[in-house]
Structure 1
Amino acid sequence: MTTVAGIGLILVVVTAVILLFRLLRQPAVIGEITAGILLGPSVLGLLPGDLTEVLFPEELRSHLSVVAQIGVLLFLFIVGWEFSPASVRRHRRSAGLIWLSSMATPMVLGTVLAWLLYPHYGTVGGRPLELSSFVLYLGVAMSITAFPVLARIIAEHRLQTSRVGALALAMAAADDVLAWSVLAVVVALVTAAGASGFVMVIVWSMLYVAVMLWVVRPLLAFAVRRAGEAARPWLAMPAAAGVLLSAYTTSTIGIHAIFGAFMFGLVMPRSSPGLLRSAVREPLERAGTLLMPVFFVVTGLSVDLTTLSGPTLLVTVAIIAVACLGKLGGVAIPARLSGMSTNGSIVLGLLMNTRGLTELVILNVGLSLGLLNTQLFSAMVVMAVVTTAMASPLLTLTLRRAKPLTLEPDLRLDPPVSALSTR
């Protein structure tokens, strides 16, 4: 019953903090992250009696971690399902150069920063890290854009039918696929036993992808075509089973469970959208929404802001600066050079600089692999919060300056061609 009480407390606190941050016009993820930090050693743990340890002892955390992992898997499944290859193909000419810069610039700056940080953070728990793994991982972590949070911000600012909104969604979707692919290589490098082990992980991963695309996807499409209204109440259960089994498969291969959940979302049928949305997506999305607060608290228990002092505070500022320069500058500058308006370029850069929950998932992978110590993990979490929190207020200022929107070709609201809903 201790686990049940702990989850109940988490849901109450997270709900209260989310409502507070919504009054400040911040996305829900900022409130969720803040709630996790408040319940961790950074705030609650500083009070007399070490309340964090009392409320969340070590034996409880293992149970919470299992619940949190299921929430993350459902979240990644929805992210994969939301990915639209058609939207990426539709904007590949106009977004190609900007997207390459949006990935390459933060990744290059991130790898340079990682190389500079390696002498100070290259040993975790007394174990020296491989320089290549550390550098490549930090480069990936710096290049993330959170697609679900981005879509929510775009909708709130009524940009979903503008050129900027469409480009941002297409580029963020492509970001996700490339970032997960590179991260899978990093995980394989860290977990594989030697060069031969790494090769085997890659071979098994390629076989897994082939089976998912050419066997599982057709079977899912066939099953959906045969499923009638009588099957509607039961469709969510086999879908959830598929997510978990796919996640288990990739975990066994050696490329982390999150990739299996994301890949299962990618191969989900796009036909029968009404049936699948009401019978599968909405139930699993609601279940993920209930479980994700546990993930944020588990993350918050690993964040210790009291360690961010002296040199580590300067490192945190440097990480935030590199993240903003790489993503915001790496998008806004090439967008302006390609002919986009100044305001449109700034808006696109601000949108792509949003990291949100996706960044936390990546950071937790790094923490579980032993690539980050508590200090660097805490600094990276602060970067994720700052880059996400700054998006809405700066967008509001930029769009206010650009009014009326009808005079800005990149921000003009065109007739809607599709609807997008996201958490």
Structure 2
Amino acid sequence: MSVEAVTAYVMGDIAVILLISSLLGGLARRFGQPAVIGQILTGVVLGPTLLGRLPGHLTGRLFPPQVLPYLSVLAQVAIVTFMFVVGYELNLRALRKSSRTTLSVAAAALLVPMGLGAVAVLLMPSAFASVGEHDIGSRSFVLFMAVAVSITALPVLAAIVREAGFAGTRASLIALSAAGVMDVAAWTALAAAMPGGSHGLSAWLTAFLAAGLVLGGALLVRPLLRWWIHRPGSMFTHQLPMAIVLTMGCAWATSELGLHAVFGGILAGLLMPRRDDVPDADVLRAMEGASALLLPLFFVVTGLSLNIGAINRAGVLLLGLILMIAVAGKLVPGYLTSRLNGLDKRESATVAALLNTRGLTELIALNVGLSAGIIHERLFAVLVLMALITTATTSPLLTLLAVPRRPVSAPDEAVPSAGRKET
């Protein structure tokens, strides 16, 4: 296939992907779901799960092998940019000042499902072996599964809170703050699960170099960027070019360490200077817009690796087990910890329901595990279904709880910035 033909295919594929993603995202909203549900389903529709089952090998004709590398690069740029936004909007100073309620809820809702996930792998290895040849006894697999069932998607959670009309209530403030704390902890744990570098580095050397990268960024790069941006006569009168350079540079560095580019994206967001802990509006708007435009490509590239129809009976049973761990591991500790900290029954149930949201953040983590070889495609499909089901049940649960929409005073809660976009 000529360069001109590949270019034409890529542009045509982008048009098809954005069109179907917009239609399914709008349809999801009509049913009271966040748009990300419909966007994720775009990958399911265009991949081997649905379109690939029709006569004529339509998926292969729409996405020929020569085109996939280009779409994959754009998909990686999308998630790296998205993770920059996640990191840039996290207010670490506010998280450090979070109340006892927030910290206890976050600890319980993260550590309990992580523990349950790890125990399930260690006690029932045959259940996981039934859906692929994984290195089940390895540290990477156990830690990855622990993280996979414990993630809460802060951006999707924030969108649900906003669209449901109860932003500012005590339950939503606690849930958002706790999700911010869990985001930092979960991505740190996921980085620790990575098996090693792209140049054959040992796990210990990778961890040492990664720690050096983080410390060097915090102690040297961030102060230097702050001085450079704000010095008189600076070439960077706008911060956007610096944000892009920092994001792609960090993504390259973490990729070289074998930690996947997404870790570089979130690191860049955390390192990017802010004025009075407030992100620059122009940078945020541009990076959000870029990620929102390109993320449908990520969903489709993911969908091409996803064949739900290939899940066998053992996979369905494993899905049931993982759902029980993921849901109970969030709802029970989220509810009980909230009650112990003085919230009433409905507020506690609301916090628990919100913390069970996964969405895009989970999908990115699963792709990290798949690309690192920690999990294989059938387990990947099971975990994607878990993410879809748990996210799709959040809005109905909130409706069932009849959450009050009048904001309440919560002066003791320090709330991190939350993404304005639901993806």
The alignment status of 1:23 with 2:30, answered yes or no, reads yes
Moved more, 413-422 or 162-171: 413-422
Letter in 2 for 1:34: L
TM-score if structure 1 supplies the norm length? 0.90
Query: Residues 48 and 281 from structure 1, CA distance in 2 versus in 1: closer, same or farther, beyond 3 angstroms?
Result: same
User: Which residue in the other structure is 2:333 paired with?
Assistant: 330
Letter in 1 for 2:366: L
Superposition pairs of residues 174-323 of structure 1, within 5 angstroms: 174-188=181-195, 193=200, 197-226=202-231, 232=237, 235-271=239-275, 276-278=280-282, 280-323=283-326
Query: Residues 273 and 120 from structure 1, CA distance in 2 versus in 1: closer, same or farther, beyond 3 angstroms?
Result: closer
Conserved? CA contact 2:198–2:256, under 8 Å: no
The alignment status of 1:370 with 2:368, answered yes or no, reads no
C-alpha distance after superposition, 1:58-105 (max 9, x if no partner): 222221111100000000000001111233233231222222111111
How far has the Cα of 1:126 moved from its partner?
6.0
**Whole-Å separation in 2 of the counterparts to 1:46 and 1:306:** 9
Tell me the secondary structure at the aligned position of residue 105 of structure 1. helix
Query: Residues 32 and 15 from structure 1, CA distance in 2 versus in 1: closer, same or farther, beyond 3 angstroms?
Result: same
User: Among residues 398, 403, 412, which one is paired with 1:395 in the alignment?
Assistant: 398
C-alpha distance after superposition, 1:195-240 (max 9, x if no partner): xx222112111111111101111122123323789955x5322311
Conserved? CA contact 1:91–1:167, under 8 Å: no
Query: Residues 67 and 123 from structure 1, CA distance in 2 versus in 1: closer, same or farther, beyond 3 angstroms?
Result: farther
**Whole-Å separation in 2 of the counterparts to 1:275 and 1:267:** 11
Conserved? CA contact 1:111–1:139, under 8 Å: yes
Aligned residues: 412
Conserved? CA contact 1:308–1:316, under 8 Å: no
How far has the Cα of 1:128 moved from its partner?
4.2
User: Which residue in the other structure is 2:66 paired with?
Assistant: 59
With a CA cutoff of 8 Å and minimum separation of 6, indicate the structure with the bigger relative contact order. Answer: 2
Conserved? CA contact 1:110–1:139, under 8 Å: yes
Query: Residues 310 and 417 from structure 1, CA distance in 2 versus in 1: closer, same or farther, beyond 3 angstroms?
Result: closer
C-alpha distance after superposition, 1:350-396 (max 9, x if no partner): 11110010000000011111122221111100110111111112112
The alignment status of 1:172 with 2:179, answered yes or no, reads yes
Moved more, 118-127 or 281-290: 118-127
Query: Residues 262 and 274 from structure 1, CA distance in 2 versus in 1: closer, same or farther, beyond 3 angstroms?
Result: closer
Query: Residues 208 and 50 from structure 1, CA distance in 2 versus in 1: closer, same or farther, beyond 3 angstroms?
Result: same
Conserved? CA contact 1:246–1:264, under 8 Å: yes
Tell me the secondary structure at the aligned position of residue 58 of structure 1. coil
Conserved? CA contact 2:46–2:303, under 8 Å: yes
Where structure 2 has 5 or more consecutive residues not aligned to the other structure, the ranges are 1-7
**Whole-Å separation in 2 of the counterparts to 1:32 and 1:266:** 27
The alignment status of 1:106 with 2:113, answered yes or no, reads yes
Return the structure number with greater helix share. 1
Conserved? CA contact 1:134–1:371, under 8 Å: yes
Query: Residues 329 and 177 from structure 1, CA distance in 2 versus in 1: closer, same or farther, beyond 3 angstroms?
Result: same
Identity %: 36
The alignment status of 1:151 with 2:155, answered yes or no, reads no
Letter in 2 for 1:3: V
Conserved? CA contact 1:354–1:391, under 8 Å: yes
How far has the Cα of 1:267 moved from its partner?
1.5
C-alpha distance after superposition, 1:174-204 (max 9, x if no partner): 111111111111114587858xx22211211
How far has the Cα of 1:170 moved from its partner?
1.3
Conserved? CA contact 2:98–2:177, under 8 Å: yes
Letter in 1 for 2:90: F
Where structure 1 has 5 or more consecutive residues not aligned to the other structure, the ranges are none
The alignment status of 1:384 with 2:380, answered yes or no, reads no
C-alpha distance after superposition, 1:130-163 (max 9, x if no partner): 4322111100111100011111111122333222
Letter in 1 for 2:63: F
TM-score if structure 2 supplies the norm length? 0.90
Query: Residues 50 and 315 from structure 1, CA distance in 2 versus in 1: closer, same or farther, beyond 3 angstroms?
Result: same
User: Among residues 356, 361, 368, which one is paired with 1:358 in the alignment?
Assistant: 361
Conserved? CA contact 1:144–1:179, under 8 Å: yes
Conserved? CA contact 1:36–1:301, under 8 Å: yes
**Whole-Å separation in 2 of the counterparts to 1:87 and 1:332:** 23
Letter in 1 for 2:223: P
